A = this chain, B = another copy of it.
Amino acid sequence: MTTRREQKQESRAAIITAASKLFRERGVDNVSVAEVMDAAGMTHGGFPRHFASKLDLVGEALRRAADETGGSAASPVPFEEFAATYLSAAHRDHPGTGCVFAALGPEVSRGPAETRHVLADKIERQIAEFGDTPQQRAEAISRWATLIGTLILARLAEPDALSDEIIAAGRRAVGLAD
C-alpha cells in the first residue's frame, strides 16, 4: 500500500525523469513546464506542488542527468567501456538519455549560477575520481573533453558518412580499436 507521501514522491520523480530527458533532447528553453508535466502524466497546474519554479526543476533534472553518467563512485565503469558506448551512433542519435555536458553544457554555462553549479559540482567530483597525480588527472580530463567535443561535432555534421568519420576519429584518439 502506497501512502500519499510516497505517491507524491513518485510524481516528483516522474516529473524529474521526464524533464531530464526532454531537456536533453530539445533544450531547456524549448520545453515548457506543461510539456514536462504532460510527459509525466499530469496537467501543468500541479507543478507548483513539487517545484518552486521551472529553474528549480531544471536544477533537479540536470542533477539527475549528471548522476546517470559514468557509473557510481563505488562501481566506476572502466574507461574503455565508457568511451565505446559514448562514441557510438546510438549515443549520437539519442541525446535524451545521453551525456548532459554534450547536450546542454554551453547553455547551462551561460545560465543562472544555481543550475551551473549542478554541472560544475559533477565536473569537480568526476575529476577527483580521475586520479591523484596531476598527470593522471590531465590525461583523463583531456580524454573526457575529446569525447564531449567529438559527440558535439558528430551531432552537427552532415552527411552521415562525415559524422561517422568524426566518431571513428574520436574512438581512435581515445585508444579504442576500430
Residues of A whose CB lies within 8 Å of any CB of B are: 25-27, 29-30, 95, 101-110, 116-117, 119-120, 123-124, 127, 137-139, 141-142, 144-150, 152-153, 155-158, 162, 165-166, 168-170, 172-173
A137 cross-chain contacts in B, Cβ below 8 A:
165, 169
In-complex Cβ contact of A108 among B30, B141, B156 (8 A): B156
**What is the distance, in angstroms, from A42's C-beta to the closest C-beta of chain B?**
25
Q: Could you write out 21 A-B pairs with CB less than 8 Å apart?
A: A27-B106, A29-B29, A95-B110, A105-B152, A105-B155, A106-B107, A106-B155, A107-B107, A116-B156, A123-B153, A123-B156, A127-B162, A138-B165, A141-B166, A141-B170, A142-B150, A145-B148, A146-B149, A148-B153, A149-B152, A152-B152
The complex places the Cα of A25 from the Cα of B105 at a distance, in Å, of 14
Are A138 and B30 in touch, CB under 8 angstroms? no
Are A169 and B138 in touch, CB under 8 angstroms? yes
Are A106 and B104 in touch, CB under 8 angstroms? yes
Given contacts A141-B166, A170-B142, A173-B138, contact A102 B110 (CB under 8 A): no
Are A138 and B29 in touch, CB under 8 angstroms? no
Given contacts A117-B158, A149-B146, contact A138 B101 (CB under 8 A): no
Given contacts A158-B124, A162-B124, A169-B137, contact A142 B146 (CB under 8 A): yes
